[in-house]
Structure 1
Amino acid sequence: MKTRAGLFRAVGEPLELVELDLAEPGRDDVVVRMAAVGICGTDLHQVKGEWQRPTPMVLGHEGAGVVEHVGADVATVAVGDEVVLSWAPSCGHCPDCARGRPAACVPLHRAIGNGTLVDGTTGMSVGGETVYRGTATGAWAEHVVVTSKVALPTGGAVPLRDAALLGCAALTGVGAVLFAARAEPGGVALVVGAGGVGQFVVQGARLAGAEAIVVADPVEARRDQALRLGATHAVHPDDLKEAMKEIAPVGADYAFDAVGFPETSATALRFTRSGGTTVMVGLPPTGLRLDLDPAEFLRREKFLTGTMYGSEDPAVALPILLDHVAAGRLELDSLLGETFPLERIDDAVKASLELPAGRVLIEP
Structure 2
Amino acid sequence: MVRAAVVPAIGAPLEVTDIELPEPGPGQVRVRLAAAGVCHSDLSLSDGTMNVPLPAVLGHEGAGTVVAVGDGVAHVAPGDPVVLNWAPSCGSCHLCALGEVWLCVNALSGSGEVYARRADDGTDLYPGLNVAAFAEETVVPASCVLPMPAGIPLTDAAVLGCAVLTGYGAVHHSAKVRPGETMAVFGVGGVGLATLQSARIAGAERIIAVDVSPEKEELARRAGATDFLLASGTTPREIRGLTDKQGVDVAVECAGRAVSIRAAWDSTRRGGRTTVVGIGGKDQQVAFNGLELFHWGRTLSGCVFGNSNPSEDIPVLAEHVRSGRLDLDSLVTERITLEQIPEAFGNMIAGKGGRALVVF
Q: Provide the TM-score with structure 1 as the length reference.
A: 0.92
- 2:264: which partner in 1? 268
**Which runs of no fewer than 5 residues in structure 1 stay unpaired?**
none
Deviation at 1:156, TM superposition (A): 4.1
Contact 1:69–1:79 (CA under 8 A) maintained in structure 2? yes
**CA 1:217 to 1:318, structure 2 compared with 1: closer, same or farther past 3 Å?**
same
Distance 2:74 2:291 in 1: 53
**CA 1:29 to 1:54, structure 2 compared with 1: closer, same or farther past 3 Å?**
closer
Deviation at 1:353, TM superposition (A): 4.0
Distance 1:36 1:251 in 2: 40
List per-residue Cα deviations over 1:261-314 (Å, max 9, x = no partner). Answer: 121111111111111111011111245332122333312211111111111211
List per-residue Cα deviations over 1:54-113 (Å, max 9, x = no partner). Answer: 32111100111111112221121121111111111121221222233333111235x3xx
Matched residue type, 1:327: S
List per-residue Cα deviations over 1:113-161 (Å, max 9, x = no partner). Answer: xxx43xx422122233221221122110011111122111123421122
- 1:73: which partner in 2? 72
- The farther-off stretch of 89-98 and 44-53 is 44-53
Matched residue type, 2:116: M
2:154 counterpart of 1:155: no
Equivalent position SS for 1:321: helix
Deviation at 1:335, TM superposition (A): 1.6
Contact 1:215–1:226 (CA under 8 A) maintained in structure 2? yes
- The farther-off stretch of 45-54 and 265-274 is 45-54
Distance 1:133 1:296 in 2: 43
**CA 1:90 to 1:11, structure 2 compared with 1: closer, same or farther past 3 Å?**
closer
- The farther-off stretch of 81-90 and 293-302 is 293-302
- 1:251: which partner in 2? 247
- 1:101: which partner in 2? 100
Contact 2:23–2:30 (CA under 8 A) maintained in structure 1? no
- 2:332: which partner in 1? 336
- 2:86: which partner in 1? 87
**CA 1:121 to 1:46, structure 2 compared with 1: closer, same or farther past 3 Å?**
closer
Equivalent position SS for 2:165: helix
**CA 1:344 to 1:246, structure 2 compared with 1: closer, same or farther past 3 Å?**
closer
Correspondence for 1:195 among 189, 198, 205: 189
Deviation at 1:331, TM superposition (A): 1.1
Distance 2:341 2:192 in 1: 24
**Which runs of no fewer than 5 residues in structure 2 stay unpaired?**
none
- 1:204: which partner in 2? 198
Distance 1:220 1:78 in 2: 46
Equivalent position SS for 1:128: coil
List per-residue Cα deviations over 1:188-239 (Å, max 9, x = no partner). Answer: 0011111110111111111111110011101122222111111110010125
- 2:34: which partner in 1? 35
Distance 2:284 2:22 in 1: 37
- 1:241: which partner in 2? 236
Correspondence for 1:311 among 304, 307, 312: 307
Distance 2:290 2:284 in 1: 19
**CA 1:39 to 1:250, structure 2 compared with 1: closer, same or farther past 3 Å?**
same
Distance 2:307 2:226 in 1: 26
**CA 1:261 to 1:46, structure 2 compared with 1: closer, same or farther past 3 Å?**
same
Over the residues paired in the alignment, what is the CA RMSD in angstroms?
Answer: 1.8
Distance 1:242 1:302 in 2: 17
- 1:124: which partner in 2? 116
List per-residue Cα deviations over 1:157-177 (Å, max 9, x = no partner). Answer: 211221011010000001100
Contact 1:26–1:71 (CA under 8 A) maintained in structure 2? yes
